[in-house]
Amino acid sequence: MSAVNLQMACVAGLLGLAVLAIVLSRSKAATGVIYGATLAVSAIALIGSMRSLLGDPANVTALTLPVGLPWLGAHFRLDALASFFLIVVNLGGAAASLYGLGYGHHEATPHRVLPFFSAFLAGMNLVVLSDDAFSYLLCWEFMSLASWALVMAHHREAGNAKAGYIYLVMASFGTLALLLAFGLLAGPAGDYGFAAIRAARHTPYAAALVLILMLLGAGSKAGLVPLHVWLPLAHPAAPSHVSALMSGVMTKVAIYGFIRVVFDLLGQPAWWASVVVLFLGGITAVMGILYAMMEKDLKRLLAYSTIENVGIIFASLGLALAFQANGLKLLAALAFTAALFHVLNHSFFKSLLFFGAGAVLTATGERDMDKLGGLIHRMPLTSFVFLVGCVAISALPPFNGFVSEWLIFQAVLQSPELPQWALKIMVPAVGALLALAAALAAACFVKAYGVAFLGRPRSPSAETTGEVDRYSLAAMFILSALCLLAGILPGLVIDALAPITTEILGGRMPIQANEAWLSIAPIAESRSSYNGLLVMVFITISASLAAYFIHRFASRALRRGPAWGCGFSDPTPAAQYSGGSFAQPIRRVFGTLVFHARDHVEMPPPGDIRPARLRIELHDLIWEGMYAPIAGAIGISSDRLNRLQFLTIRQYLSLVFATLVTLLLVLAIWS
């Protein structure tokens, strides 16, 4: 069976499972059967896509199915880029299914989750596989609708209906932008196949419009600022393993769409395109993580951090565009590889973190960090893997997040090669923004972990909880192992990504397998290198040596006592630093500008025994400045138009007559 046939068979299997889930819907066994089956199918699809990426890169397989529009059919194709994204999709799918085997038993309404879960997986696979604009859009909508249904799974919970509504509006807007983009790409001749679009020449204006439409369409799905508003509402509303899929995988499918169109179908990019992408990426990265820093809902914090990571990926893609536009193929390959590496990394650690948040949610029933605390004692294993995820996402060595950020910085450092002044000035500034985002990410995850897992429990449910089930733990441990492996063996990943850069950009990074001691050295001349394996080995050896010698020769005595706290032990856990107070210094520094943040102290008058209160006022300027006016305008204009429903028959007839006259007039003037 050829590679693409195998993938399509898996998709068919997933769709079949969706039907089976409807049939089984009320049965007790449904959860186990469906998640077990999606795990198996995703694993097969994962192995198949890994084989096609690591196998012969020239072996591109295609398939045409006689479905869809008559005479056109639906085209599917599997090349290196699609194989890579299929790995991301199916790895995430397999992990989420494994997690679901345990987590799904806590689900009150499994019949509202199971059918859409496998349909959602099938939809994401299909988007990556499709090879003509028609099936691409169809699959894209299928994916959006399936995920919308999952967002609405718990539709009675406060806020979820609003999240679903905003998601639906933004998804329709995104698809409209994609539709227009593909319309432009197909041109007057109207050939919708990707092969024909790739072969056609696109005028600069059309290419510019397509780029902007793709930024709107794919960017709104991926969460680019200012199109991100739906993401922090919708991703956390879904069940946690679906949140993991939406954040870790679906945003990547959107990025795949962007790469496919802008890098593959449009041909040689213009240099100014990279300015737009770089700018949006840098802003998205910093804004996303600042929002996350202010958040106290654990899952929503993770969703905002997804926005940050999408920003990093887009900034890196922008760099690749800049180098590609100037014919610097090697450097373009470096930036592009960094972006893909970050795609992979983010799918690992964001899924892991959402699984962890889901474990906390099932164990304590809380998403609010200020009601958690001390979970490291009650849930030691979950705490350990969540810590791994936090370290990885904060871009700290020796884990995987650092490697991709390091590659991006190496690409940023090559910007003097670019001839355009705008880019020369812009790239270092974006580099500084990315460094700021990375440092803020570390701060944000110190907050998330420190408030939720460390300290003293802030609520009875956090005090009495226990560890989660084995399936959930297995999924999280597998992902944290992958985070470590990708961090210490980055050369293998970079070499595996080489066929994609060769296929899309026509250049590739130097082969890393030849470097001594499994180092990575992206650019031979600069001799900059990094070796995650040795860094980890050194840290392990020196930490164990220090611990051994101290315990052997100095002292190993240990006494437990009450906390010191400068002699004053606070009696209640409420006196600890909470999420809001931890964010206070950063809110003071960035908040006044970005959120118009104000702290109000309400001090009761003397003699009054009410407590003093501190109230924090934060404004989401993007929502208030952009979305609220649009929503208001739509509301007002629909109110006005509402009057048209209550006219007399005479008035309707005169309206019809006036319209007719106007149209005739227009026709007369036009011709």
Partner 1 sequence: MVVISDILVQGVQMLLVLLLAPLLTGFVRKVKARLVRRQGASVFQPYRDLLRLLRKEVVLADNASWLFRVTPYVTFAAIWVAAALVPTFATGLLFNWTADLIAIVALLGSARFFLALAGMDVGTSFGGIGSSREVMIAALAEPAMLLIVFCMALVAGSTQLSTVANFMASSYVGLRVSLGMAVIALIMVALAENARIPVDNPATHLELTMVHEAMVLEYSGRHLAMIEFGAFLKLLLYVSLIACVFLPWKIAVFGTGPFAYAIGTAAYVVKLMAAGFFLALFETATAKMRVFRVPQFLGAALMLGLLGTLLLFVSRSF
Which residues in 452-491 contact partner 1 (CB under 8 A)?
Answer: 454-456
Name the segment binding partner 1 (CB under 8 A); options: 11-19, 196-204, 260-268, 524-532: 524-532
Nearest residue (CB) to partner 1, 93 versus 282? 282
Distance CA 83, CA 100 (A): 25
Binds partner 1 (CB under 8 A): choice among 562, 605, 607, 611: 562
Name the segment binding partner 1 (CB under 8 A); options: 69-77, 394-402, 465-473, 663-671: 394-402
Binds partner 1 (CB under 8 A): choice among 531, 591, 594, 595: 531
Name the segment binding partner 1 (CB under 8 A); options: 29-37, 201-209, 234-242, 558-566: 558-566
Cα 291–Cα 233–Cα 352 angle in degrees, nearest 5: 75
Residues 205-224, interacting with partner 1 (CB under 8 A): none
Residue 426 Cβ, how far from partner 1 at the closest point, in Å? 11
440 near partner 1 (CB under 8 A)? yes
Name the segment binding partner 1 (CB under 8 A); options: 232-240, 266-274, 313-321, 525-533: 525-533
530 near partner 1 (CB under 8 A)? yes
616 near partner 1 (CB under 8 A)? no
Helix (H, G, I), strand (E, B) or coil at 508: coil
Q: What's the number of CA atoms in the CB half-sphere (13 Å) around residue 649?
A: 0
610 near partner 1 (CB under 8 A)? no
577 near partner 1 (CB under 8 A)? yes
635 near partner 1 (CB under 8 A)? no
373 near partner 1 (CB under 8 A)? yes
Name the segment binding partner 1 (CB under 8 A); options: 114-122, 313-321, 374-382, 656-664: 374-382
571 near partner 1 (CB under 8 A)? no
Name the segment binding partner 1 (CB under 8 A); options: 134-142, 407-415, 503-511, 599-607: 407-415
Amino acid of residue 120: F
Binds partner 1 (CB under 8 A): choice among 69, 481, 524, 547: 547
Q: How many residues bind partner 1 (CB under 8 A)?
A: 87
Distance CA 384, CA 347 (A): 19
599 near partner 1 (CB under 8 A)? no
Residue 453 Cβ, how far from partner 1 at the closest point, in Å? 9
Residue 651 structure tokens: 């008035």
For residue 270, the 8-state DSSP code is: P
Binds partner 1 (CB under 8 A): choice among 311, 397, 510, 591: 397
Binds partner 1 (CB under 8 A): choice among 145, 442, 492, 616: 442
435 near partner 1 (CB under 8 A)? yes
417 near partner 1 (CB under 8 A)? no
Name the segment binding partner 1 (CB under 8 A); options: 175-183, 331-339, 447-455, 657-665: 447-455
Nearest residue (CB) to partner 1, 111 versus 456? 456
Nearest residue (CB) to partner 1, 51 versus 588? 588
Distance CA 199, CA 207 (A): 14
Q: Give the chain's end-to-end CA distance (angstroms, integer).
A: 59
Distance CA 571, CA 367 (A): 25
Distance CA 587, CA 440 (A): 11
606 near partner 1 (CB under 8 A)? no
573 near partner 1 (CB under 8 A)? yes
Query: Which residues does 315 contact at the CB level (< 8 Å), separation at least 6?
Result: 277, 278, 281, 282, 285, 408, 430, 433, 434
Binds partner 1 (CB under 8 A): choice among 103, 116, 582, 595: 582
Helix (H, G, I), strand (E, B) or coil at 74: strand
- Orientation of helix 204-222 relative to helix 160-186, angle to 10°: 160
Residue 266 backbone phi and psi in degrees, to 5: -80, -15
Residue 620 structure tokens: 């989401």
Query: Which residues does 320 contact at the CB level (< 8 Å), separation at least 6?
Result: 263, 332, 333, 335, 336, 339, 411, 505
Nearest residue (CB) to partner 1, 173 versus 409? 409
Please spell the DSSP secondary structure of 127-185, one letter per residue: HHHB-BHHHHHHHHHHHHHHHHHHHGGGTTSTTHHHHHHHHHHHHHHHHHHHHHHHHHH
Nearest residue (CB) to partner 1, 554 versus 641? 554
446 near partner 1 (CB under 8 A)? yes
Amino acid of residue 152: M
Residue 612 structure tokens: 């003093």
Name the segment binding partner 1 (CB under 8 A); options: 139-147, 170-178, 577-585, 650-658: 577-585
Helix (H, G, I), strand (E, B) or coil at 2: coil
Nearest residue (CB) to partner 1, 48 versus 373? 373
- Sign of the alpha-carbon torsion through 82, 83, 86, 92: negative
Q: Quick one: 611 exposed, middle or buried, by C-beta within 10 A (0-12, 13-18, 19+)?
A: exposed
